[in-house]
Amino acid sequence: MNRNDLCWCGSGKKYKHCHLAMDERIKEMKFDFFKGQVRPPRKIIDNEQDIAGIKASAVINDGALDLMAEMIREGIDTLTLDDAAGDYITSHGGVSACLNYEGYPRNVCISINDVVCHGIPSRDTILKSGDIVNIDITTIYNGYFADASRMFMIGDVAPNARRLVEVTRECMELGIKAAQAWHFLGDIGAACAAHAHKNGYSVVTDLGGHGVGKQFHMEPFVPHNAKAGTGMLMVPGMVLTVEPMINEGTYKVTTDEEDGWTVRTKDHKLSAQWESTILITENGPEVLSH
Ligand code: MF3
Ligand code: CO
Ligand code: CO
């Protein structure tokens, strides 16, 4: 690509005014094969138009999560929450990314207590005092995806459960802080896991974060238990999720054989998760959906 060609990112700008400097910096870097250090593929670098699209999707996604925060209470069934989230997304011009995703039957995932993720909302699942609940929502708007989840505590929550929810949030926040341009992806998981382990918790490894934006689940896989300095190079324009699943007991999980979706802790101890969609920028991570 020549300096005066239009940039490969699709911005419509000349290469020399767009990604030339970034490409040259990447070219100068040494990648340690033994640490799994790799260059980010161009297809996962978003341009300004893409980022504006993801931000617009994130506004709807965050609005749906805010609605969940208003509605959630002891005694509500999780299908009522699912219906309301779905209606909110469609009435704002979006589509739920989860609905029909690989056959998933609902708009959102609602995961309670020992359910790690992908809990399926149901009329028969009634929230009760003491529950810790994750609601995970992904919106598609104008072809762009935004993905985030929050924890909610119902009524009187035991101190151990409350602490798990709070520490998991801190794990996500520390993971986000570690998402610095020109560092490697493993820094995110190293930060998440150090905080989890220090607090006596384990980190789920079978599932993780992901690139997001033009598709739901894109490269790279974002592990939440990793070594600093390993994996893909993070560069401005990458959009990822940080979504640690942190367990009280074992890190091992099992998927429900009946429904094919619900992921539970193997020992049935508690699990918590928070998720944000973030953008890597030259000046640090920017939270897009939370
Ligand atoms: N939102 C989840 C994630 O964070 C994925 C849910 S897929 C579904 O990646 F099909 F279960 F909805
Ligand atoms: Co999600
Ligand atoms: Co996600």
In a domain, 76, yes or no: yes
Residue 11 resides in a domain: no
187: Cβ contacts below 8 Å, ≥ 6 apart: 178, 179, 180, 226, 228, 229, 234
For the segment 260-276, the average pLDDT, to the nearest whole number, is 99
Residue 21 maps to a domain = no
Of all residues in the chain, the percent with pLDDT exceeding 70 is 100
pLDDT attached to residue 146: 98
Question: In terms of residue numbers, what domain contains 95?
Answer: 37-289
CA 126 / ligand 1 centre spacing (Å): 21
Model pLDDT, residue 6: 98
Q: Quick one: pLDDT band at residue 144, thresholds 50, 70, 90?
A: very high
Reported residue count of the chain is: 290
21 falls in which pLDDT band (50, 70, 90)? very high
Please report which confidence band the pLDDT of residue 258 belongs to, taking 50, 70 and 90 as the band edges: very high
Domain assignment of residue 8, yes or no = no
CATH code of 115's domain:
3.90.230.10
pLDDT of the residue at 47:
98
**Do the domain assignments include residue 238?**
yes
| Distance (Å, whole) CA 1 – CA 273 | 43
Which ligand is nearest to the Cα of residue 240, counting in written order?
3
Is 25 within a domain? no
Going by alpha carbons, the residue nearest to atom 7 of ligand 1 is: 98
* Residue 35 banded pLDDT, cuts 50, 70, 90: very high
pLDDT given at position 11: 98
Alpha-carbon span 57 to 5, nearest angstrom: 31
Helix (H) or strand (E) holding 192: helix 186-198
Name the residue of 109, 261, 263 to mutate for ligand 1: max ligand atoms within 8 A of Cβ: 109
Q: Distance from the CA of 6 to the center of ligand 3, in angstroms?
A: 32
Cα(158)–Cα(152) distance, rounded to whole angstroms? 13
Does residue 273 form part of some domain?
Answer: yes
Q: Which atom of ligand 1 is nearest the CA belonging to 216?
A: 9
Condensed to tens digits (0 to 9), the pLDDT of residues 3-13 reads 999 999 999 99
Give CA angle at 83 (62, 269), nearest 5°: 75
Q: Beta strand 115-117 with 209-211: parallel, antiparallel or unpaired?
A: unpaired
* Residue 20, pLDDT score: 98
Is 263:253 a contact under the CB 8 Å cutoff?
yes
Tell how far the Cα of 14 is from the centroid of ligand 1, in angstroms: 37
Ligand 1-lining residues (CB < 6 angstroms): 98, 101, 104, 109, 118, 136, 138, 147, 241, 243, 261, 275
Q: Which of 147, 172, 218, 273 to mutate to test the pocket of ligand 1 (most atoms within 8 A of CB)?
A: 147
- State the total domains in the chain: 1
Nearest to 84 by CA among 97, 74, 96, 75: 96
Does 200 reside within a domain?
yes
